[in-house]
Structure formats: structure tokens, C-alpha cells
Amino acid sequence: MKKTLGILALILATAVPVTIASLPVPAAFALDAEENTTIAVYEKANKAVVSIRTQGGVGAGAIVDNRGIIVTNNHVVQGNRVVQVNTSTGRSYSGRVLAVDRRNDLALVQIQPQEKLPAIRLAKMSAKVGQRVYAIGNPFGLDHTLTVGTLSRIAPNGDLQTDAALNPGNSGGPLLNSKGELLGINKAILSPSGGSSGIGFATSIAPVQRLLAGTPDRAGDNNSIAANSPVPRQPQKRPTLGITIEAQSLTILDVQPGSVAERSGLHPGDRLLRVNNYLLNSPELLQQALEERQPLVLTVMRNQQIGLIRVSL
């Protein structure tokens, strides 16, 4: 018995330590080429997908210019001049509707970021029936959801048909190729129930390129804003309320005498909650709303009571 224990002790003492990292990965846990491509597409494009909110609902959009140009659907913005845009980092911006293409259900929205944003490149290769496609959007409010499918058909008008699952909230989001490039903008589904039925549609890249050609700062275009855009040129001087606010709580610290804020009835100690019924969570969002030079309705908390204050610039 003692000999047996001695042998066991010797085996334990001389065993070579084996770390988990040194063990080979079983084939069952390895990703195949198709899965790696899907993951790469999502990681490349996801940060450039935004959610767009209006009083009518939630849609998606694709950042196509790192200065803040976003492509979405015309029916997502629903005739609004200003929409709320939330990026993948959680930042919220006030987005100006620059131009719309009602025929192709497209719209351009611009935000004013302080830094360059991730952007999705437009595809250079023509779409082909049978190729793999990837959709990212916000179905039923589930932000940044990825679905995968096949390009099933290209309609005579250029619209793309796919069996990638599209649902309410995917509208305005990108349809991508296997390089993570923009093939189209998702816009509709064919479904008697209102849910995904395996037949979804996207506007192809050609109308997107034509609409982008009419946006500001694009070379070779004299019309800096499309003729059907409801938004005037941005003024040179930035409008202001004449207040000093605490950046985190958005509480007013000071009101300048004779300012717009004083005339509107804002007081030190007021906490700003919303602007035009959009959640206000940064001074930048307030400033972007002011730059529209339109009357504002501020939701304000004062002495633990919430009220509305109308502001005319």
C-alpha cells in the first residue's frame, strides 16, 4: 500500500502543467469562413448605423460621411425638419433633414458631431442576384440587430429584394455586401401579418448616389441644398439663449440680462429636460435645436414641478 501511494505522489509531482490556452480548439467550436465574414461585416458597419426617432416612431439610418451625413428613408423622417439621432456610442444629436427623394423613399439627415464618425462606404461593384447580403437596423426598437440573407431579385426600377429578415424598425438601415459596403437602404416588406415573411425591399445605391450629389460641400454641384429641402442654409452666427448651464444635469446656472432666456421666463435653477418633446441629454443637442432658428418648446423642472416654456428666437 505504501508503494502505491509513493508512485502516485511521484506521478503528481512530476506531471507537466497544462494551461487551457495550450489545448487545441475542438473543431466544433471553430468558426467557419461564412461566420467569420458575417462577424467582420457587422464589426465594420455597426458603428455607423444610427437610430432615428420622431414622434411617429423609430427607424434606422446609415452614416455615409464622417462629417455627419446620414442616409435613411423618407417615411422614417415623415416630413419632419428635425429628428433625434442616436449613435452606437449612445450620443444623441438633433438631426436636420437636408433633402428627400420621395420617389425612392430616401432622405438625408445631417448631425454636427465634434469628431469624425465611422462611416459606411458605398459599394463600387454592382449588386448580383444570389450574393450574400446583411441588414442592420432596429426592428421593434432592438437597436443594432443583424440579419443575413440572399439578394433574391433586382426589380426593373433597381429596387433590391432580399430574404434577410426585415421588420418594423429596419426601415432606413443599410443593406450591405460581404465587404461591409452599402448596397442599398432597407425600406419595406411584403407581409400580410406586418412581420418578416422573407420578402423585403431596399432602394439601390444609384438613387442614394444621386441624392448625395445634391448635398452641401460636394464638388461639382452648385445647388448646395436640394430644391425640395425644407431646411434653409445654416446661418453664420450661432444663436444662443443667453444662459450658462451645468453640462451634466443641464441646470441653468446664470441667465444674461436682456437675453432670449430672460424674455422667455427661464430662471437660474431651472433644469432643462426636453426640447420640442425630444429628450435633452447634452448641451450640444440644445444648441443644434437653436440653430434651426425656429420657436422651441422647452420642458423644464422648477421647484420639483415640470412645465413648458415657449422660446422665440
pLDDT one-digit tens code per residue, 17-47? 445 445 555 555 678 889 999 999 999 999 9
Residue 262 — φ and ψ, nearest 5°? -65, -45
Q: Which of 206, 227, 262 is the last residue of a domain?
A: 206
The CATH number covering residue 196 comes to 2.40.10.10
How does DSSP classify residue 21? G
Structural domain includes residue 298: yes
Q: Which of 181, 206, 231 is the last residue of a domain?
A: 206
Structural domain includes residue 40: no
Number of domains in the chain: 2
Output the average pLDDT for the chain: 81
pLDDT over threshold 70, residue 239: yes
Structural domain that includes position 269: 243-311
Q: How many CB atoms lie within 10 A of CB 220?
A: 5
Structural domain includes residue 198: yes
CA dihedral 122, 126, 127, 133 (to 10 degrees): -40
Q: Which of 185, 206, 227 is the last residue of a domain?
A: 206
**CA atoms of 204 and 197, how far apart (whole Å):** 21
Higher pLDDT: 136 or 125? It is 136
pLDDT average, residue stretch 158-170: 89
233: confidence class by pLDDT, cuts 50, 70, 90 = very low
pLDDT average, residue stretch 95-109: 92
237: confidence class by pLDDT, cuts 50, 70, 90 = low
**CA atoms of 247 and 226, how far apart (whole Å):** 35
pLDDT over threshold 60, residue 98: yes
245: confidence class by pLDDT, cuts 50, 70, 90 = confident
What is the Cα 124 distance to its own chain's centre? 23
pLDDT over threshold 50, residue 3: no
The reported pTM is 0.62
Cell numbers given for 122: 458605398
pLDDT average, residue stretch 236-248: 75
Structural domain includes residue 18: no
Q: How many CB atoms lie within 10 A of CB 233?
A: 9
Question: What was the pLDDT predicted at 218?
Answer: 36
pLDDT over threshold 50, residue 106: yes
CA separation, residue 23 to residues 17, 18, 19 (Å): 12, 8, 7
Question: What was the pLDDT predicted at 193?
Answer: 54
Structural domain includes residue 263: yes
Q: What is residue 69's three-state secondary structure?
A: strand
**CA atoms of 146 and 138, how far apart (whole Å):** 9
Structural domain includes residue 11: no
Q: What is residue 87's three-state secondary structure?
A: coil
**Residues 254 and 306 grouped into a single domain:** yes
CA separation, residue 191 to residues 77, 140, 158, 188 (Å): 22, 16, 21, 9
First to last CA, the chain: 96
Considering the chain, what percentage of its residues have pLDDT values greater than 70?
81
Which of the residues are catalytic?
A: 75, 105, 171
pLDDT average, residue stretch 256-273: 91
**Residues 195 and 249 grouped into a single domain:** no
Structural domain includes residue 201: yes
Structural domain includes residue 150: yes
Question: What was the pLDDT predicted at 25?
Answer: 54
**Angle of CA points 88, 50, 197, to nearest 5°:** 115
**CA atoms of 219 and 138, how far apart (whole Å):** 33
**Residues 196 and 248 grouped into a single domain:** no
Residue 38 — φ and ψ, nearest 5°? -60, -45
Question: What was the pLDDT predicted at 276?
Answer: 83
Higher pLDDT: 143 or 221? It is 143
